[in-house]
Structure 1
Amino acid sequence: MELFKTQMSVLWILLLNGNKGCHTEEVVLLNSKETQAELGWTSHPSNGWEEISGVDEKYKPIRTYQVCNVMEPALQNNWLQTGWVARRGGQRIFVELQFTLRDCNSIPGVAGTCKETFNLLYVESDKDLGRVTREERYTKIDTIAADESFTQGDLGERKMKLNTEVREIGHLNRKGFHLAFQDVGACVALVAVRVYYKRCLATVQNLAVFSDTVAEAAFATLVEVRGACVNNSEVDTDSPPRMHCSAEGEWLVPIGKCSCSAGYEEGHSSCEAEASPRWVLHCRGRRIGYLTEDRLPYGGEATLRRRGYLTEERLPTEERR
């Protein structure tokens, strides 16, 4: 019953979410496109994955890996291991792959062992495992297939059918990890690898400051964050400020609030000193000027007010800026 209540509470907060997609940040741990020098990843055996230079869709120089041993009659088992990736506090890790893959049927005389998929794997560790690839250490994330594969005709027309796939790794316990790509007989080019996690960016809501918060690994898990009141404000004891950071790195609707202290009024996400009263001078129903308290003629306030030449108002916060 308690589990049911918790699930319903999570669902209710999600339904109330009015800020979905706001204040989200992707903290990038690895982006192969940002490296123009050699990536230097570990390839085994030596006649498998090969690092080459290329350009992306914007003609920016990039380093890519490719393998295409589809004409070999023997079964293929080519491994490519990235360098060590520090987790840096990330709980739910996303792996974004951009790649091209050749249609086996478009290759003349291709062996029957030709494949149109490859495997994505990972291994956790507290330090760099070096350049030795030990297959038994790795955990499979998924088999990756292309939505679009290219043909010989596409090559002639210089068409680049780029595929993008995103996979997740959750519940990591070590300081970092290696990724691995296993080719079992495909003609594939790994154009880009981007690894990141999501966090809720620091924000101010209901006069409370909420700090950067890393999203949890489990989809239904929300991280509750207590807010700190901004300067010159006080917590509402009946409803202290708090928000929840979702697994997608999105803040859900704020709960509770802070209130400006006496002598201060709410501005834009802050509490500012209240304006002193000022006097508005009128002539024939039109505003002709303003006077603050210290500018009023001595003894003239009552007369001016009685004749309708003077009214009192407070300067709006926006105008005081």
Structure 2
Amino acid sequence: MHWVEESYINFEKGINWRSYVVCDVTKQNVNNWVWTPFIERGLANLIYIEVKFTIRDCSLFPGYALSCKETFSLLYYEFDVATREPPPWEPDSYKSVGRIAAGEGRFNANNEVVINTETKAVKVTKKGVYFAFRDQGACISIMAVKLILKIKTIYSNFMHGIAAAYMDIPTKLLFGLCLQVYYIVCPEVVINFANFSATPTARELTQIEHATGKCVDNAEVVGGGPPTYLCKGDGKWYLPSGGCKCKAGFEADIEAQTCIKFCRLF
């Protein structure tokens, strides 16, 4: 058995998800792979991947489970070009994100399903990335994958297949999963009559990005240097420094942060 696409329905919770399932516990030397499509990182420096999954307890397979495990591997492969060929499957080509276990619990009865949620962070530097799920003998269902490239949705609602750009990617990829991609930025803002563009957060939550502002129309820099603002890892601005002022002949609109032509009444 390899990864198989199935439906998971829970009427009480209003869930109707497509999932990827594998359960090769009766075989030895199991090595099952499934991939996401190529995910362009855009401006992001850091990607969070959130996986919803279930794992069956090995006690459900007494006597005939040859390789039953209760974990699976999450890996990634960075690449500068999206191709129609699948990414390599050799483990040495990938970087490990981690070994994923059922931290919220395994289920050990057919009517007791425990859905686990695991979130990992990955630094990215190339144009995009493939994520891979590697099974080596567990009984797993991957319910949903959310990729957060640290506010703005790039791809969403893939319940009925991958968007047109990915339709030619082989079917071993994760078609049908609810795959959402975001990246988090400090949003565009105007403060002290300086405009700061949307700025991607750094590769570490504890790091900050220094952004340089540009004076609004009809304004000029105050002091010796350009205005600056710090972008924190949670997507919030703090500690503005410097700023701009309206040029001669223009009046400051503090609320709108604009400089308007000063008009005499006589």
Pairwise same-fold verdict (TM > 0.5): yes
1:195: which partner in 2?
147
Residue 264, structure 1, aligned to residue 219, structure 2: no
Provide TM-score, normalisation by structure 1.
0.62
Structure 1 counterpart of 2:117, which letter?
Answer: T
Q: Displacement, 1:258?
A: 2.0
CA offset digits 1:43-76 (Å, max 9, x no partner): xxxx221112334786364321011122x05232
1:134 matches 2:89: yes
Structure 1 Cα separation of the partners of residues 93 and 262 of structure 2:
67
Which among 32, 45, 55 is matched to residue 78 of structure 1?
A: 32
Q: For 2:134, give the aligned amino acid.
A: Q
Find the counterpart in structure 2 of residue 103 from structure 1. Answer: 57
- 1:151 matches 2:107: yes
How does 1:177-192 map onto structure 2 within 5 Å? Answer: 177-192=129-144
Shift of 1:78: 1.2
Question: Could you tell me which amino acid in structure 2 is paired with residue 209 of structure 1?
Answer: N
Q: Which has the higher strand share?
A: 2
CA distance in 2, matches of 1:271, 1:127: 43
Could you say what secondary structure the match of 2:59 adopts?
A: helix
* Counterpart amino acid of residue 270 in structure 1: Q
8 Å CA contact 2:87, 2:130 repeated in 1 = no
Structure index of larger Rg: 1
Matches within 5 A, 1:234-249: 234-238=220-224, 240-249=226-235
Q: Secondary structure at the match of 2:67?
A: coil
- Correspondence 1:63 to 2:63: no
CA–CA separation in structure 1 for the residues paired with 2:58 and 2:24:
12
Q: CA 1:129/1:273 → structure 2, altered by over 3 Å: closer, same or farther?
A: closer
Match of 1:118 in 2: 72
* Aligned mates of 2:14, 2:239 — CA distance in 1: 42
Counterparts in 2 of 1:196 and 1:102: CA distance versus 1, 3 Å: same
Deviations 1:109-162 (A, max 9, x none): 452632111000111222326236431322211101111234344x32xx5422
Distance 2:106 2:97 in 1: 25
- Rounded to whole Å, the distance in 1 between the matches of 2:143 and 2:113 is 11
Higher helix share: 1
How many residues of Structure 1 are paired with residues of Structure 2 in the alignment? 228
Identity %: 34
Unaligned residue ranges in structure 2 (runs of 5+): 151-184
For 1:149 and 1:220, the matched residues in 2 are separated by 31
**Alignment map for 1:20-99 (pairs within 5 Å):** 47-55=1-9, 59=14, 61-70=16-25, 72-99=26-53
- The answer to which of 228-237 and 197-206 deviates more is 228-237
Aligned to 2:236: 250
| Equivalent AA in structure 2 for residue 111 of structure 1 | A
Alignment correspondent of 2:156: none
How far is the alpha carbon of 1:272 from its aligned partner?
5.6
Q: Aligned partner of 1:256: which letter?
A: G
Deviation of residue 108 (structure 1)? 4.2
Aligned-pair CA distance for 1:190: 0.5
Please state whether the residue corresponding to 1:63 is helix, strand or coil. Answer: strand
Residues 274-300 of structure 1, C-alpha deviations (whole Å, 9 max, x = no match): 9999xxxxxxxxxxxxxxx89xxxxxx
| Alpha-carbon spacing, 1:255–1:98, altered in 2? closer, same or farther (3 Å) | same
Taking only aligned residues, the RMSD between alpha carbons, in angstroms, comes to 3.0
Mapped contact 1:120–1:179 kept (Cα < 8 A): yes
Separation (CA, whole Å) in 1 of partners of 2:41 and 2:104: 32
